[in-house]
Each structure stands twice: as C-alpha cells, then as structure tokens.
Structure 1
Amino acid sequence: MLERSLKALEYPYIQEQLSSYAMCSLGKQAAAEMSPFQNITEANRELDAVDECLRCILRAGGPPFGGITDIRTDLRRAEIGGTLSADRILAVARLIQGGRAFRQYVSRAAELTELVHLPELTEGMVDAKRTEQEIAHAISDDGQVLDHASEQLHRLRSERRRAEGEVRTVLDRMLRANQKLLQEPIIAMRGTYFCLPVRVEHKNQIRGVVRDVSSSGSTVFIEPQAVVDISNRVRELQVLEEQEIERILFKLSQIIAEVAPDLRVNVNILQTIDLWFAKASYARALDAKRPTLTDNVWRLHGARHPQLNKDAVPVDVELGDRFHLLIVTGPNTGGKTVTLKTVGLLTLMAMSGCFLPTKRESEVGFSTEIFVDIGDEQSIEQSLSTFSSHMNNIIHMLSTVRPDSLVLLDELGAGTDPAEGSALAIAILDRLSSIGCRVIATTHYAELKGYAFQNENAMNASMEFDVESLRPTYRLLVGVPGRSNALAIAERLGLPRDILEEARAHVAESDIHVEELIGKLEQANREADRAFAEASAEREATKRLRDEWETKTSRLEQELATEREKARRETQQLVERAQRESEQIIRELRQMRHEAGVKDHELVELRKSLEGLSPEPEQGHASGKRSNQGKRLSVGARVKVLSLGQKGDVVEVAGDGSHATVQLGLMRMKVDASDLEILQEKAEEQVVRHTRKSPAKDIRMELDVRGETVEDAIMRIDKYLDDAVVSGLARVVIIHGKGTGALRNAIRRHLGRHPQVKTSQAAGLGEGGDGATVVTVRI
C-alpha cells in the first residue's frame, strides 16, 4: 500500500488509537507497525480473531497483560553471552508468568464462548516455569539479588553486616567518650567512610585519618584508626559481594539463553494477541460493527469517520455492483472530502482486520491498492502548481492502477480552465472505467453530471444542501446530481432582484431546466425518505403489537395447560385416595371373606375397575380441542372425557346429541358432548340391550357353593343373582350338591321367595340332577 495514500486517508490516526488501547508495549509497537493485509484470507482471519477477543471482553472481562514487556533485546544479549541486569532478568520472569496467566484466561473464556483462533495461537506458547523458578529463587520482586541466591553470597553478606555492626559499636563508644571534642554527637558518612565530626582545634586529640573538612573549616571529619581496618574489611567484602552477584546474574543469563528461542515465540504471540484485543477494545468504544470483505463491492450503511465518530453525519455509500464510478457533486464545505476519506479509511480499516463505525453490518471491497488524490498539493520547492501536482499523482495512478484497485479523486480537473479541466476529467474517468477499477470522484463541473448519465457504469451523487437555512446537511444522496445553489443562496442573502434576473438571463435555458429537474429529484428523494421513515415506524409498531399478542397468547395457553394439569392431578389424587381406601376395604374383606362370601378374584376385579378411573396425561390435545371428524356419538362408542382424561363407554345419548351418559368403570356420569372425544365407534346391535345398564364384569352361567355354610352360600347367591340381572343372564345354574340335603333345601327355600327369581327347579340329569337348581331370573 502506498505510504502517501495511508497518510492522506489519516491511517496513522487509527494506529495511534489502537496504540492507546494496547495493554503493553508489545501491542503499542504492533499498532505502530500495522498495515493492511495483502490478501482477503488473512484479513478475514484477523476479523475472526478480533471478534473472538471482543466476545472474551464482554463475557470474561479484560485479559491479564500486566508485567508483560518486550524482552527480545534481552534475549539477544543473553544468547551472545552477555550478562543481564537483575531488572531485565526479572522482566523475563514476569513475561513467563504473564504468558501463563493469559493461557489460563483463554481456558476460562473458552468455557463461556466458542473460541478457535485464541486457543490455536496460545498452544504454540512454551511455559518456561523452571526458568521462572530459578529467577524467583535469586531475584526479589523489586529487582534485588536475594541472600540465598548462593551460599557464597549469603556468607559474604552476613560477614559484611557483622563488620558494619562492629564499626558502629566502636563509633558509638567513641561518641560517648569524646562528646566535648565533637562538633555534633553523630556519625557522619563521607563517601564510604564512617567519620566523627571533630572540632578543628581538637583534631590532634583523636587518632585517625582525615577524610573531609567542612566548608567553614571549623569541622574536620576523621575516620578513627580503630575502625579503619574494619572499614577496609567491609569494602573488601563489598567487592567480593559484587563479584558474586555478577556471577549469579551471568548464570541466570545463560539459563535464559537456553530458552530464548521459545521465549521469543511467546513474545511474538503475545504481541499479536495484544493487538487483537486493542482492536476489539477500540471496536467496543466506537460501537463498531464487523464488516464483510467482498470482491470490489462496497455497501456502507450509516458509515462515520472514526475521527468524528458520533459528531459525523452517517452516510450510505454503494459502489462496485450496479456501477463502478460514483461522481459526487455539491457545494464547498458540504462534506464531499469527508465522505471520500470515510470510504477510503474504512476500507483500510477493514483490510487491517478492524471493525467499522457503521450503523449496521456493511460490505467492503478488498483492494490490492488504494490510490488517493486529495487536497492542495502545491509545491513551492518543486515549482509545481496545484494542477501540476494533481496531474503528477494521476499520471502515476494510470500507470499502476488495476481492476481491483480503489481510486479516490478529490476535485478532479480543478486548478485550470473549467472547459479544459472538465474535458480532461472526463477523459481520465473514461480510462479508469475501461480498466474496471472502482472510482469515487468529487467535482464542481456540471459537465461531469451529464457524463454520469451517459456512462452506464457511472452514478451521480450529491451532498444535500438546505436552501432555507443556507447550511449543508452532510447527507449523501446517491442517484441525484448536486446543484450549484449559487443563485438561490444569493437570493436568500438579499442580492437585488434585478441583478438576479440579469444573472439568470446569462444562464443557458438547458442549465435552468437541469437545475429545476435536480431540485425536483431532491424533493422527491426527501419525500421518499420521509415515507420510508414513516413506514419503518409503522412496521416497528406492528411488530411490537404482534409480539405483545404472541406473548399474551403464549401466556394464556400456558395458563390453560397449567389449569388442565392441575385438574388432572386433583383427579389423580382423588382416584389414588379411593384406591387406598379400596385396598383397605379389600384387606378387611379378605379377613372376613368366610363370613362375607367374597372370593379373591372378585376383589381383584373391583380394584381394577378403580384403576380404570385414573386420568391419563393428555397427548396431542394441548389446545383442548377434540378431533371427531367423520365419527358419530352413539351408544356403545368408546370415548374419552377430556376434562378428566378418562376413557369409558357411551350408554345413553340425549335426543339432541348435546350430552351423553358415559360408563367410567363402576361410575356412570352425564357429560357434555363437547367434552367428549370419540376414540372408537361401536355399531353392534346387541349394544342396545345395555343402554339401561352396562356390565361391570363377565358373569359365568353357573355358581358353585358346595361345601359352604348356609349363610355363606346364600350371601354369595344373592350377589350372583344381582350380577346376573346386571349382565342380562335369564337362566343360571346353582350347584349345591346333594349331601344331607340341608344346604339344598335351604337354598331352594330362599330362591322360592327371592324377588329376582322368576322360577327355580331341580336341574336335569345332564346339569347335575338333584345336586343343582336351575333358576330363571327376572330381567
């Protein structure tokens, strides 16, 4: 990319902004060296990575870059055998620690959002924990070499501290003994020497070495002879200590040199990631949207120049699909140049992997080169006029421009005679159009407005101007050429009418018609914008009402389902309670079965009839509606009572079909027809006999009471006859046996006066003879 184009489009401003959002010196350096990518694949990968970083910031917070600095110079020094200072060695340890903290951050963030590029990049980092531990053992957090860095250093420092303690002990003793000879009772340091401030008249009374004299000459600083030897030992120990520290630092430097290649990889990775996060933070601050990179097609929606941001009027720009040339006209200070720079800078940002300050997601064409000719390029040094400077730039463009290039031309053909300038501008646009590159050009020439109408690859656009307020609105109107507005502005400012009329007389009639047509187009465009805004508002209101209606409907359906489920649970609880009670009764009846005459299989049948009352969860009827199409509600039909969730048989249907009587196990109830779902029709003729009563269970044609007592047998016979009546059995046989005849005679006497017995007589030879009695039941 041409350096001149980057500067003209204010690309360094974006680099400065990203540098301010970088969290360490590595990211700041990367931002300063940033440039657009050379192919669309790399740019898309960068956009993906920035998108990941933005999601990490929003869901996991900012990354931990504290303590990370650029140590590449230190690594080179260690590799060539140099010795690093304690501070620089500590910086290496902090980078190792920072890299580990960042990998842990990526692991946590990966649990909150889907990540691809960050984990892939951090996998290449090496955790030199052993090197970090070696450094931490020898260097403190404030960059000082610790005593236990080596045994020799610990011994030397301990010995030095003891010697310094002896010096102070001797000096303290001499202070107390010679207070009258001293200017002040203190120990004074002169360089590395411990001295006493002795009055000059008593200097010969203290034996020692004079190390300094005060400016007034009244005080002599004497190092007593008693501490001279000890002080010399202290200085000797200090030299040995410094040598040992140098040895320790050299050893640590060699350890660092062994892992220098790995650490250099870590630094490069962290630098890349810091730039990613800087781009993500900048996008968040601008409320920027991710662009879609295309092949030379621009669709910018509500684009703003990053330097103006919220103060800029958003512009919508389209280029490269329906037309390749966009010719922008309009008054000075109307925003043409800002629009030109906005398109160019946003293109550079998208190609650099940055999000764009647009109202919504936009499309940006990926260009191998962006050619720019903006501003006054007059050069006194080269004796070039503005026109000559512009021509030099354009000549260079025409020699290197390609079909996938973007060309931005400000005031094309300006700086010379209008007739020649407009002709030259048309010729240049023709050449660029034939090459096939994308061009945005601003101009004042009226001839270029007509050129856009004639060239099918070109489109007019203008910066809107409010004649009433005499102010530009800075809105870009694509498809509408701009008007000069000179006469209108002069009239609004109060120029005499006769001068205006004379000026209009000099304007060609065709130009007047064109101006009027452009005015009508502008008015129609504004009305279309207002209509679109109103339609959008109505659409939003309709959508809001629809959402409210759907929410209310969903809530009502949920409440209905809840109530139905509540009713089902209550019914289930009632049935369960009845089952528990029946179980209790059955247990008691089993204990009393010899007295009550009830057998186990009959008790089991009673319990099953209660289980049939248990409601079933509804399936496929969430709406509460039944599907009875093609089915007729008739006696004997198998139905489901929707409100109870139970199944049963229809035993009676009202004449008008509004309700029916349903047999549910042992329970019979009247149910509204709308609460019934027909599961299966029953058309057998014999069902008619059961319209009065429906059997609760199957009844055998004979009852055997042999071996039972009279009381038990009679109780069972009464129950049997009741069931026979319910089942519609007209003839039954009771087997009682012959025996002594007591049971037979008692049963026959009982049958003779039983209200449900029509006749009773001894059975024939084939049915048991005198050991059985045939009974005709009243049906």
Structure 2
Amino acid sequence: MNTKILTTLEYGKVRASLQGLVTTAVGAELVAKLVPSSNPQWVQTALDETADGASILRLAGGIPVPQLDNIAPALKRVEIGATLNGRELAALGRVLKTVSAVVKFLDDLQARLDLRRVYDLQAQLVALPALERRLTVAVDEDGSLTDEASPALRGVRQAIRSLEGEIRSRMEKYTRGSSAKYLSDPIITIRDDRYVIPVKAEYRGQFGGVVHDQSASGQTLFIEPQAIVEMNNRLREAQLEEQAEIVRILAELSEAVAPYTKELRHNSQLLGHFDFINAKAKYAKQLKATEPQVSAENHVDLLQARHPLIDRHQVVPNTITIGADYQAIVVTGPNTGGKTITLKTLGLLQLMGQSGLFIPAEAHSTIGVYSNVFADIGDEQSIEQSLSTFSSHMKTIVDILGAMDDHALVLFDELGAGTDPQEGAALAIAILDAVGAAGAQVVATTHYPELKLYGYNTPQTINASMEFDAATLQPTYRLLIGVPGRSNAFDISQRLGLDPTIVAAAKGLIAEDSHDLNNMISDLESQRKAAETEYLETRHQLEAAQQLHDELKHAYEDFFTERERQLDRAKDQANAIVDKAQAKADKIIGNLRQMQKEQRGDVKENRLIEAKTALKNLHQEKAQPKNRVLRREKNKQALHKGDTVRVLSYDQTGELLDQVDASHWEVQMGIIRMKIATQDLEKVQPPKTETPKRQVTVVRGATGPSTTLDLRGQRYEEAMTNLDQYIDAALLAGYAQVTIVHGLGTGAIRNGVTAYLKRHRQVKKFGFAPQNAGGSGATIVQFK
C-alpha cells in the first residue's frame, strides 16, 4: 500500500485514536506499525481477531492486560550476562503474572463463548509458575527487594531497624533534654548517611563528635555527637552488608531468568497482541462500527457508511456500492455538497477494513481487498516546485496511472479541473478510459456536463450525484447512485432575486442539448423520488403483512399446543376411570371365585344377580329425572350447610359453612376457614365420638391454652422451651390438632420445631400449613 494515500485520507488519525486505547509498550508498537494489507487471508484473520475482541469486551469487559513496559532491552542484557536491576525484574514479574491471569480468564471464558482466533493465541502463552512465584516473592512492584528475598536480607534489615531505633532514642535526649537549648532546631536529620543534630555554631564544643555539614549562613553545624559515632559506624556497616546482599540476590534472580528469555519475549509479544486486539474492539465500540464481510471479487457494498473522523451525530450516512454491477462512478453536484467527503469515506473505510478494523457502517457491509488505493484529492499546488493546481493534479494522476493494476481502487476529486473546461472535460474522459482499460475501479467527482453523458454511454460506468434541495437552496449530503447531478445555477439565481428576464436570456445562450440533459435529469429525479415513495409504502405494507403472518402463526401454534394438551388430559382422565372400573370389576369377579371355592359348587342365583348388578353399576349413566331411587341417592350425596366433608387436595376433614357460588363452598378445617371448589369436596359421615385415650383432668373455672402457638421473634432456646410447655398443655387440654407459627427467618426455629415433633411420642403427624394459612411459616400438628 502506497504511503501517500495514508496521508491523503488521514489514516494517521485513526492510528492516533488506537494509540490512546493501548496499555502496553508492545501494543503501542503494533499500532504504530499498523498499515492496510493487500493479502485477503491476513485481512480476514485480523478481522476475526477484532471480532473476538468485540465479543470479549461485550461479555467480559475485555482481556485483562494491564500496563506493561517493554522488556526486550532487559532480556537482551540478560542474554549477554548482565545483572538486572529491581525495576527490570519487577517488569518481568508483571509479564508472568499477566500471563497467568490471561490464561485463567480465557479458560473460564471457553465454557460460555466461542471465539475464532484468541484461543489459538492463548495456546502459545507459556506460563512459568516457579519463576513467577520467585520474582513475586522477592521483588516489589516498584522494583525494591522484599525482606522475603533471602533470610540474610531479612536478618540484616532487622538489625538496621534495631540500630536506627537505638540511635534515634539516644539522640532524642539531645532534642528533648537540657541540651535542646544548644540546637538551632530540635530535630534529628541525616548527613552523609549518618544521623546528626543541628547545633548552633557557638556551642559546637558542647557535644564533641564530628561536624558533617553546615548551613549556608554558617550559623548551624550538623554534628554527629561523640556518643553516637560508634552506633552510626555499626549502622553503616549493616547498610553496606544489606547492599552487598541485594547485589547478590539481583545476580541470582538474573541467572534464574536467563534460561527463559525466549519464552518471556514471546509472552510479551502475545500480551501486546492481546492489548492490540482490546484496542481495536474498544475503537469499534466508540465508532459503533461493525464487522465487514470480505469480497474476493472486490465487490464493495458499504451500507449507511459514515466518515470515522466526523461526529456520528452530525455526519450524513451514505450507501456506496461499486465493483459488482459497475466499476466506475462519476459523481456530479454543486460545491460543498459532500462529494469530497464521500470519496474520503469510501477510501478510508476501505483502508480500515484492510487493516483488520471494524468500519462505521451498517451490519453486513462488504469491502474488497485492493492491491492499492490511490487518490488525487485536494489542492496540492507547490510554490517551491513552480507547480500550478492543474500541474500538481496532473503529476499525481501520471503517477497513479503508472502504478495502478486491475486490483486497484482510484479516487479522483474534481478530475480535469484547473484548466480550460473543454480541454479539462476531454482529459477527464480519456483518463477514465485509461483506468477502465486497466481494469481498476474508479470513483471520480466532476462539474463537467460532458462526463454525465460519459456515465450514460460507457459500459460498467454509472452516474451519481449529491442531492441538493432546490427549495431550501441547501445540500442534503445524500449520495444518489444512478442519478447525475443537475445544475441549479438558474434556480438559485432566480430565488435569490435575479431578474427573470436575465435568467431567461442566460438559458437561451446555452446549447439545446444541455437543456435536454437537464430536463432528463429532472425527470430522473422525479422518477427516483416516486420510486422511493412507492418503495417505502410497499415496505410498510410488507412489514404489516409480516407482522400479521407472525401473529397468526403464533396463534395457530398456541391453538395446536392447547388442543394437544386437552386431548392428553382427556385421555388421562378416561384412563383413570377405566382403571378404577377395572379394579372394581376384578374385585367383584374375585369375590365370585372365592364364594365358588368356599361353597364347592354352583354359586347361588341371588349371588350372581348381585354381582351382575354391581358390574352394571360400573357404567356411568346420566341420572334419569323420573328414577326416584337415583334421585334419592343423588340427594344423599348433595352438599348442604353443616355437612362433614373431606377436602381431597389437602386430605383434611372439615365442615361446610356457606355456599359461596355454584361451584365453591366455604369450609372450616380446624382453625382454618377456606374457599374450596365443589369438585374438591367429598361428603363423609361425621366422625364418631371416641372414648379419650388419656385421662384429662379439667379444672373448672380455668381456661385452656390457645390452639395456636406463635414463636416468631423469640430466641432459639426460649422458643424450644415454650414449645415443650405448650405441647404438654395442649395434650392435657385434649386438643386433637394445634398450629405452631414459627415464620421463615433463617429457618433455625422451624428446623428446631420439626426435630422436636419427630421425637415426640404423642404426635401422630405434622406438616406445613396451606399457602393461605401461613404456608411453610406454620406447622399443623395432629395428636394420637
């Protein structure tokens, strides 16, 4: 790819945006070296990596690559036997820790996200856990060695801290005692790595010792008192011992790194590559960009493309298509209409796509892979080279014609401008013919009307224009492919107030074929607008029809599903009835066989009649209104207020209170009153009064305990004590059933209640209350 096109289309600004998104030195190098490629395989691979980065950014916030320095110089020094300093070793440790973090992150990601390239790159990372652990333990993030670097270093540092404490303690006697009056300031400071005190010059003999420094005025001397000299000497010896141990440890760690320089360098490059992928994904998110498809035939179809360097809220998107149905586009229209920006948008998006970047266009846009992109855009006149605007453009065009091939994209802005209009138009046509003959694709902007006819008459060439609103005298910046630009000079002049006779005279001076061309363009614009209106209306109708179709489809699916469900339910009910009837029939037949065995002969006639009648009764027939026996039996089964019934769904016995409606009754079950469906009720005989199993002494005048115990808000021990006392009282009162309200909470009291009831011998059964009576927050207990 020629470097001039990168400058012309401001490709460097795209790279600058990417530079602000990388965090590693290697990533910054990759961005700086980024250029478009003409290799389709490389382009697709780079786009796959960007797509992976976008998926990871969307689902997991990006690959965790922190700020990393360039470790290549440190590795070169290790390879020649040099000893690394603490900062260089810390940088190597950060690389190894990042490798472990990235490997773990991507391993966790594999279970929920399929990627195209990143997992292959991950497989190339080499984790060195032993070396990582050693560097992490020995070296801090700032490059200083930790006390854990070696036992000797820990010991000497402890000695240094102890000596420093002793020295400060001794010297504080000078700063806080009677000697403080001889000091300029009651402080302890350091000169030449030795602890000293600031003494007034006239009292220098008060402390003895060594003078290490003096103030600028000479009024203060920094003296090491004689009593501290020996302790400072021992401190200095310990500090030198510490430095010697640090040098030894750094050499040892450098030797440990030396065998792994190749792996460390490769890891650093891979982490920089991950950082680069992150940056491309973040840039795509900023631009609201999408992944383009790559066309091997260079069929470009940019849908609603936007220039990446213009605010997306202000730029007008355009659809640009070339390569499939035509290889040349001639764009005409007024100045400031957006022709140049359209050219730059096509060129820059193509360069971005061939660099492996997403492009600011709608999804499913397509780019080509051109061998080169050339552009002659802007005024490049040169005073130093004595070149006029026309000469500068022509020199660039000559270079382009000499370098292009049949896989190139050429962009011409104002082709043939800067000279006589007739000659310029002729040159423009000849140049377009030359580009077409070479097989390259070309987009050219021009003002010459001759090129509009060229666009109609030349195969594989199409006209286009930038739309202009004659009503507002303003450009709309919309690209219209297939419609040439029309001159609006007469309309604009007349709307601005020019005398209509002058405008009419001007129209009479231009050639008749120009009138015909403008009229033809006007007709084309009218047809385009009518077609666009019809298209929008048709699209609206299609969307409405599609919506109706989808609704009907869903309704049919719901109907079919419900029908199948009802059929299955009916079959289950029928099977249940058949199974029940079969069981009764089997029982009747079994009884007959048993009687036959017992009587050892024929069964009596009355027995057969009874069995036959029982089998006949298995057939479910509708009750006849005139059958008094059936009516009487039906009346027996009819539900009335005060009847005793069994609630089938809860397997509980209750009393009917009132009929709520045709299909529901209000039932009292113990202390609970519920609304129950009629079909869920079975009339039963009231329970017979049984003799109590235990002797209960009733104290007259005393009141028995409540049938409900509330343990909510109590501590566990208190609740268990109250429960035990309450159960004894309920048993003494002769209650058949009680309710324990324990709530949900943490579940401790509920579990305690359950454990207690399981152990109690007088408890027949227990279980959670119905949902409308407390659910799992209450337990109903029945006694034996």
Cα displacement string for residues 81-122 of structure 1 (whole angstroms, at most 9, x for unaligned residues) = 223221221121111111221122222222112224111121
Alignment partner of 1:340 is 2:343: yes
Cα offset for 1:9?
1.3
Q: What is the CA distance between 1:8 and its match in structure 2?
A: 1.0
| Contact 2:465–2:480 (8 Å) recurs in 1 | yes
**1:558 alignment partner, one of 561, 582, 590:** 561
Counterpart for residue 118 of structure 2 = 118
Match of 2:722 in 1: none
User: What's the CA shift string for 1:287-346, capped at 9, x where partnerless?
Assistant: 322222222221222111112234222212221222211110000011111110111111
- In the alignment, structure 1 residue 196 sits paired with structure 2 residue 193: no
Which moves more between the two structures, 45-54 or 525-534?
Answer: 45-54
Deviation at 1:34, TM superposition (A): 0.8
Q: Deviations over 1:692-747 (max 9, x none)?
A: xxxxxxxxxxxxxxxxxxxxxxxxxxxxxxxxxxxxxxxxxxxxxxxxxxxxxxxx
The residue that corresponds to 1:181 in the other structure is 182
Q: Scaled by the length of structure 1, what TM-score is found?
A: 0.74
Distance 1:153 1:227 in 2: 25
Name the counterpart of 1:503: 506
Contact 1:196 1:222 in 2 (8 A): yes
1:67 and 1:91 in contact (8 A); partners too: no
Cα separation, 2, equivalents of 1:538 and 1:436 = 42
Q: Distance in 2 between matches of 1:346 and 1:188?
A: 65
1:581 Cα deviation after fit: 4.1
* 1:525 and 2:517 are equivalent in the alignment: no
Alignment check: 8 A CA contact 1:187 1:196 kept = yes
Q: What's the secondary structure of 2:66's corresponding residue?
A: coil
Q: Look up the match of 2:102.
A: 102
Pick the aligned partner of 2:385 from 382, 387, 390.
382
What is the SS of the residue equivalent to 2:20?
helix
Tell me the distance in 2 between the aligned counterparts of 1:25 and 1:84. Answer: 19
Task: Give 1:375 deviation, angstroms.
Answer: 0.4
- Residues 147 and 451 from structure 1, CA distance in 2 versus in 1: closer, same or farther, beyond 3 angstroms? same
Amino acid at match of 2:150: S
Distance in structure 2 (CA, Å) of the matches to 1:290 and 1:165:
65
Structure 1 residues 118, 362: closer, same or farther in 2, change over 3 A? same
Picking from 337, 361, 368, the partner of 2:371 is: 368
> Is contact 2:38-2:369 (8 Å) kept?
no
Are residue 41 (structure 1) and residue 41 (structure 2) matched?
Answer: yes
The answer to whether the 8 Å contact 1:148/1:154 transfers is yes
- Cα deviation code 1:60-93 (max 9, x no counterpart): 4322112544322222222222232212211211
Matched AA of 1:152: A
The counterpart of 1:351, out of the listed 343, 351, 354, is 354
2:129 corresponds in structure 1 to 129
Instruction: Give the aligned partner of residue 159 of structure 1.
Output: 159
Q: Distance in 2 between matches of 1:583 and 1:228?
A: 116
Amino acid of the structure 1 residue aligned with 2:209: G
In the other structure, the counterpart of 2:473 is 470
Q: How does 1:319-334 map to 2 (within 5 A)?
A: 319-334=322-337
Contact 1:289 / 1:357 at 8 angstroms: preserved in 2? yes
Q: Is the CA contact (8 Å cut-off) linking 1:6 and 1:12 kept in structure 2? A: yes
Kindly tell me: are residues 227 and 49 of structure 1, through their superposed partners in 2, closer, same or farther at Cα, counting changes over 3 Å?
Answer: same
State the distance in 1 between where 2:43 and 2:600 align: 93
Shift in alpha-carbon separation, 1:195–1:59, aligned structure 2, 3 A: closer
Aligned to 1:2: 2
Matching residue within 304, 308, 311 for 1:306: 308
User: Could you give the per-residue CA deviations for residues 218-248 of structure 1, whole angstroms, max 9, x where no partner exists?
Assistant: 4433210121122123223222322321221
Instruction: Give a deviation string over 1:349-406, Cα, whole Å, max 9, x none.
Output: 1111122222231222210111111001011121111111111111111111100000
- Is the partner of 2:399 in helix, strand or coil? helix
Is 1:22 aligned to 2:22, yes or no? yes
TM-score (norm 2): 0.74
Counterpart-to-counterpart distance in 2, 1:578 and 1:527: 76
Aligned residue for 2:284, secondary structure, equals helix
- Measured in 2, the distance between the counterparts of 1:233 and 1:380 equals 77
The DSSP-based 3-state class of the residue aligned with 2:468 is strand
Letter in 1 for 2:469: D
Please list, as runs of the form range in 1=range in 2, the aligned pairs for 1:268-279 lying within 5 A after superposition: 268-279=269-280
CA RMSD of aligned residues (A): 2.6
| Aligned-residue offset at 1:129 | 1.3
SS of structure 1 residue aligned to 2:62: coil
SS of residue paired to 2:406: coil
The farther-off stretch of 79-88 and 175-184 is 175-184
**Shift of residue 669 of structure 1?**
8.6
Report the alpha carbon displacement of residue 261 of structure 1 after superposing the two structures with TM. 0.6
Q: Give the equivalent residue in structure 2 for 1:486.
A: 489
Partner of 1:13: 13
Residues 13 and 184 from structure 1, CA distance in 2 versus in 1: closer, same or farther, beyond 3 angstroms?
Answer: closer
Residue in 2 that maps onto 1:710: none
CA distance in 2, matches of 1:598, 1:434: 116
| Distance in 1, Cα, partners of 2:165 & 2:87 | 29
After the TM superposition, which of the residue ranges 12-21 and 125-134 deviates more from structure 2? 12-21
Select which of 578, 583, 586 maps to 1:575: 578
Q: Which amino acid aligns with 1:230?
A: M
Q: Which amino acid aligns with 2:517?
A: V
Q: C-alpha separation between the residues in 1 aligned to 2:599 and 2:495?
A: 116
Report how far residue 597 of structure 1 moved. Answer: 7.2
Deviation per residue, 1:256-313 (Å, 9 max, x gap): 2221111111122222222223222322333322222222221222111112234222
**Residues 522-581 of structure 1, C-alpha deviations (whole Å, 9 max, x = no match):** 111111111111111111111112111212222222222222222222223333333444
- Contact 1:325 1:440 survives alignment (8 Å): yes
Which range moves more in the overlay, 461-470 or 9-18? 9-18
2:64–2:101 contact (8 Å) kept in structure 1: yes
**Structure 1 unaligned residues grouped into runs of 5+:** 601-612, 614-663, 671-779
Task: Give the 3 Å change call, closer, same or farther, for CA 55–148 of structure 1 in structure 2.
Answer: closer
User: 2:237: which partner in 1?
Assistant: 236
Q: How far does residue 36 in structure 1 lie from its aligned partner after superposition?
A: 1.2
Specify the alignment match of 1:296 in structure 2.
Answer: 298
SS at match of 1:93: helix
Give yes or no for contact 2:581–2:618 (8 Å, CA) kept in 1. no
- Higher Cα Rg, which structure: 1
Gaps of 5+ in 2: 604-614, 623-784
Which SS does the other structure have where 1:439 is aligned?
Answer: strand
CA-to-aligned-CA distance 1:435-485 (integer Å, 9 cap, x gap): 111000001111111111221121111111110010111111111111121
Q: 1:266 to 1:179 in 2, by over 3 A?
A: closer
Whether the 8 Å contact between 1:327 and 1:460 is mirrored in structure 2 is yes
Aligned to 2:609: none
DSSP-derived class of the 1:259 partner: helix
Which amino acid is the alignment partner of residue 143 of structure 1? G
In 1, Cα distance between the equivalents of 2:49 and 2:58? 14
Structure 1 residue 183 displacement after superposition: 4.1
Letter in 2 for 1:361: H
Whichever residue aligns with residue 508 of structure 1, its letter is A
How far apart are residue 46 of structure 1 and its match?
1.8
Whether 2:553 is the aligned partner of 1:544: answer no
Q: Structure 1, residues 6-44: CA drift from partner, whole Å, max 9, x if none?
A: 111121122122233334343333222211123111111
Q: Equivalents in 1 of 2:564, 2:602: separation in Å?
A: 43
Partner of 1:607: none
Decide whether the 8 Å contact of 1:461 with 1:480 is kept in 2: yes
Partner of 1:254 in structure 2?
Answer: 255
Give distance in 2, aligned partners of 1:360 and 1:66.
31
Conserved? CA contact 2:23–2:67, under 8 Å: no
Letter in 2 for 1:225: Q
CA distance in 1, matches of 2:430, 2:621: 97
Structure 1 residues 401 and 228, CA gap change in structure 2 (3 angstroms): same
Separation in 1, partners of 2:490, 2:235: 95
Q: Which residue of 2 is the match for residue 647 of structure 1?
A: none
Name the residue aligned to 1:433. 436
The CA distance in 1 between the partners of 2:305 and 2:599, in whole Å, is 94
Opposite residue 202 of structure 1, the aligned amino acid is Y
Give 2:648's aligned residue. none
Report the AA paired with residue 214 of structure 2: V
